[in-house]
Amino acid sequence: MAVVAHLRHPIAEPFMGGMEAHCALLVRALGAAGHDVTLFASGDSATDLPAHPIAPQAYEQLMPWALWHGRQDLSDWLDNAYAGAWAAIRTGGFDVVHNNSLSAPIHDWAARDGVAMVTSLHVPPFARLRDAIARNPAPCLRLTVTSRSQLPLWDGVADGRIDVAHNGIDLDRFAFSAVKGERALWCGRITPNKGTREALLAATQAGIGLDVVGPVDCADYFARVEPLMTGPHRYLGHLSGKAVAARMRAAAMLVCTPCWDEPFGLVAAEALACGTPVATLDRGALREVIGDCGTCAMTVDGLAAAMRETATIPPAACRARAERMFSAPAMIARYEAAYAAAIAGARASSSAMTRAVLA
């Protein structure tokens, strides 16, 4: 099995975001389930992963997305890297490809070569990717989205070939604790669409101290929110997964503040596994992820009230929801069903071509 990674950041800790964390867990969980996995990723990814480097390093260090997004140089760099990956995949005898990248040409190549491929869609449609999926309705190509909230965005593009597969988490790493502190936790990339500012404002209004954890993805934005990290609020930096899990276990609640329609919200699922309830702005899939193990709000004022309510939710209920919905084995089972459908589609297409040649 080939797993193709996104190339903006390495698949290595401390993870830059949910896509990188998901990819690492995917590779390890597939291996634990008995699959022979090769990860096609940047060369600076974790050395304990069974990786085939397709670029010396992730492109953020070479061509920062904020400066190079939309430029042909970056597009060409990505297409060349993935072309090299596909050349190795095509001759490597793989049964199925799990495409975890945002590459558009890979859909053309898989359809052309009749290769079974499942693409996990972690972001809403953008033109180049949407068009590539729409023009390749081959039965060997299947797709998954991370939440039901994402399905309508792909209407008319991948009808009949798309399923929901919630992201999974490592329940051992994000272990349960019934003992909670008094402080809230915010965890994510510090960038406008993650809403660090909104979290700090709501925490101030609620009178609850907030620990902010995560990488600075936008320096200008960090300069604007850093003055709010005073008094009871503090910035703890970009921590390892182990350290993040420890903070989640101890927190009274996790605060999520997506300022866009979040396709999933991995940190919310991780918090639930730790027995930590979630107070969140009601955007994208967050309501779907937390269920009755958190409180949703539409505004900063509402979020402040939600924070005061959320701490009363029983930790055991949060853990039970995570075990039921977001375990790594449950995620792999959903993917295995998609793999089987893609492989069956590839075989059916191959048989049809053989019959046509012999006719």
Question: Can you give the residue ranges of every domain in the chain?
Answer: 2-168+328-358, 184-322
* Strand bridging mode 253-256 / 97-99: unpaired
Cα dist from 204 to 207, 208, 252, 294, 317, whole Å: 5, 6, 15, 19, 27
Query: 294-313 pLDDT, tens per residue?
Result: 999 999 999 999 999 998 99
0.85 exceeded by the pTM? yes
What pLDDT is attached to residue 311?
86
> DSSP character for 60?
G
Task: Give CA–CA dist 13/95, Å, rounded.
Answer: 29
What are the helix (H) ranges across 119-160? 127-134
* Strand bridging mode 294-297 / 278-281: parallel
Superfamily grouping for domain 2-168+328-358: Glycogen Phosphorylase B; (3.40.50.2000)
Query: 182-205 pLDDT, tens per residue?
Result: 999 999 999 999 999 999 999 999
Whether the domain at 2-168+328-358 and the domain at 184-322 fall into the same CATH topology: yes
Which residues of the chain fall short of a pLDDT of 50? Answer: 355, 357-358
Which is nearest to 301 in space by CA: 279, 286, 283, 284? 279
Crossing angle of helices 266-273 and 241-250, in 10° steps, is 60
Task: Give CA–CA dist 107/136, Å, rounded.
Answer: 7
Task: Give CA–CA dist 116/161, Å, rounded.
Answer: 13
What are the helix (H) ranges across the chain? 18-32, 65-68, 72-90, 105-113, 127-134, 196-206, 219-225, 241-250, 266-273, 286-290, 300-310, 315-325, 328-358
What pLDDT is attached to residue 358?
47
Long-range CB contacts (< 8 A, 24+ apart) of 48-57?
49/11, 49/24, 51/11, 52/85, 52/88, 54/7, 54/81, 54/82, 54/84, 54/85, 54/88, 55/7, 55/81, 57/10
What pLDDT is attached to residue 159?
84
User: What pairs with residue 212 in β-bridges?
Assistant: 186, 235
What pLDDT is attached to residue 109?
98
User: What pairs with residue 49 in β-bridges?
Assistant: none
What pLDDT is attached to residue 350?
62
15: left (phi over 0), alpha (psi -120 to 50) or beta: beta
Superfamily grouping for domain 184-322: Glycogen Phosphorylase B; (3.40.50.2000)
Q: What tokens appear for 141 in the block?
A: 């190509």
In this structure, the number of other CB atoms found within 10 A of the CB of residue 231 comes to: 8
Query: 343-354 pLDDT, tens per residue?
Result: 999 998 665 555
